[in-house]
Structure 1
Amino acid sequence: MIIPWQDIAPETLENLIREFVLREGTDYGAIEVSLQNKIEQVKSQLERGEAVIVFSELHETVDIQLKQKF
């Protein structure tokens, strides 16, 4: 089930995105991106509709996925 990001309290949304970004692992690219920049990038993807927040009733988990994959 897709949960509209607008329906999530700002602090909760920030924490959800932070947990998602930290779960993604370490960058090994040429340019290191700060945690805050990564959070802002994911938030922008949600705002543009490129990413969605998904709740799995089966696993009782929340995840952020690219809309095209979902």
Structure 2
Amino acid sequence: MIIPWKDLPAATLDNLIESFVLREGTDYGEESFSLAEKVAQVRQQLERGDVVILYSELHESVTIAPKQTISATQDATEF
């Protein structure tokens, strides 16, 4: 299930993004970014619609994923 980021309280969204950034270990290349910069980058991606927040009832978990990887018929329990 896709959760609209605008529906989340600001503190909850910040915590979710921070948790995602810390969990993902994303490769940012040779540049080093602070946690705050990484959180801001993910927030911008949410605002642009490049990524979405997914909730899995099966796993009772939340993640952030690129929008292009989510098909219209894909069940959120698949992530």
TM-score (structure 2 length as normaliser): 0.83
- Return the alpha-carbon distance in structure 2 between the equivalents of residues 28 and 36 of structure 1: 14
TM-score (structure 1 length as normaliser): 0.93
Q: What stretches of structure 2 of length at least 5 have no aligned partner?
A: 71-79
The residue identity in structure 1 corresponding to 2:51 is: A
- Return the alpha-carbon distance in structure 1 between the equivalents of residues 20 and 6 of structure 2: 17
Matched residue, 2:19: 19
Cα distance 1:69–1:28, how it changes in 2: closer, same or farther (>3 A)? closer
The alignment-based identity, stated in percent, is 60
- 1:66 equivalent to 2:44? Answer no
- 1:39 equivalent to 2:42? Answer no
Matched residue, 2:52: 52
The residue identity in structure 2 corresponding to 1:46 is: L
Matched residue, 1:5: 5
Matched residue, 1:30: 30
Extract structure 1 runs of 4+ deviating beyond 6 A. Answer: none
Q: Which moved more, 1:26-35 or 1:3-12?
A: 26-35
**How far apart are 1:25 and its partner, in Å?**
1.8
**How far apart are 1:30 and its partner, in Å?**
1.3
Q: Which moved more, 1:26-35 or 1:15-24?
A: 26-35
Equivalenced residue count is 70
